Structure 1
Amino acid sequence: MTTTIDKMTEKPKKTPKQKAWGIVKTLLLYGLMFAIIYTAVNWWRQPVMPANPQLQLMDYQGQSIDLAAMSADKPTLVYFWGTWCPICSVTSPTINTLAAENNYPIVTVAIKSGSNQELAGYLKEHNYNFTTINDQQGAIFDDWQGQVTPSYVILKDGEMSQGLTGIQPLWSLKLRLWLSSVF
């Protein structure tokens, strides 16, 4: 392989293959940096399980929900969201799809989303069929030290096995639930 030299800089000229490899390395480096930063921010913002969590709750229709019992059988996804949250309008259809598959229990907590009637109207308007607890004052979310919506918690045997925030694709949630059932 012969190397040509740029007369102006006295440096070897890069071949197209070397240029392409340089671009690939740069993209991989930036991708790795993004993944590290994203993971760190997600870890920092994730909900934190309270010392004495309230796991026996009522949904907006007055039905009793026992998260500890639900998570004893299978990992249970708890999804914190709000009707006012623009990102939640992207993630809630994914949660609805996951709940419809009925492979894992899904319980959602609507934070500061109005009265039970207003919440029922919103759920009906968007064809959401997931189990929903109405956290009218945000006390449940505050108890979990929630910082951002949407946030997710996976419970296994009444204990938090994972916590995450932001947009999560369906495959990621399925993988996380499966991993919580295995480990």
Structure 2
Amino acid sequence: MIVGVPREIKNEEYRVAVTPVGVKELVRAGHAAVVEVGAGVGSGFTDEDYLAAGAELAAVDEVFARADMIVKVKEPLEVEWPRFKPDQILYTYLHLGAGYAKPLTEAMMACGIRAIAYETVETATGAHPLLFPMSEVAGRLAIQAGATHLQKANGGSGVLLGGVTGVPPAKVVVIGGGTVGVNAAKIAVGM
């Protein structure tokens, strides 16, 4: 199978769906990987990293045209929809409950792509293993974002989240006890 990894084009999205280590595993399992030039740059991976792992580099149109499976992080944007081809597999977060889901769903149905949404992958116990790591990241980043917004230079009150000698730390309230909340609490306690 040829696995295609396009660069994410959604605004402020810097992740890449498959790292060079992932490419190496795909190649080791007998698959080929075609990665868009520059796809990993936002996550700290160079094109050379992908080449060393066994990937081929290509322009976005070639990635979509050659791939049996497209692996992304975020839902495809409208500019990507014409690149879908019949029976191609799309593996990504699709957020099908969001407001833009109907046009995306219609585009996928019209071309006959087979879509698998990360958020719907479930283990036998009902766990969502592909949501868990993103929820961990979201919880940890929430506290960092909060600390940034507390800084005076960013329009905040100037309170240091962790405090310093003689100055009490900020108070943090975490609402929710799921994976996001637990990870937010862990980081808040550590600061």
Fold similarity call, TM over 0.5: no
Q: TM-score, normalised by structure 2?
A: 0.26
Q: TM-score, normalised by structure 1?
A: 0.27
Which of these two proteins has the greater Rg computed from alpha carbons? 1
Q: Which has the higher strand share?
A: 1
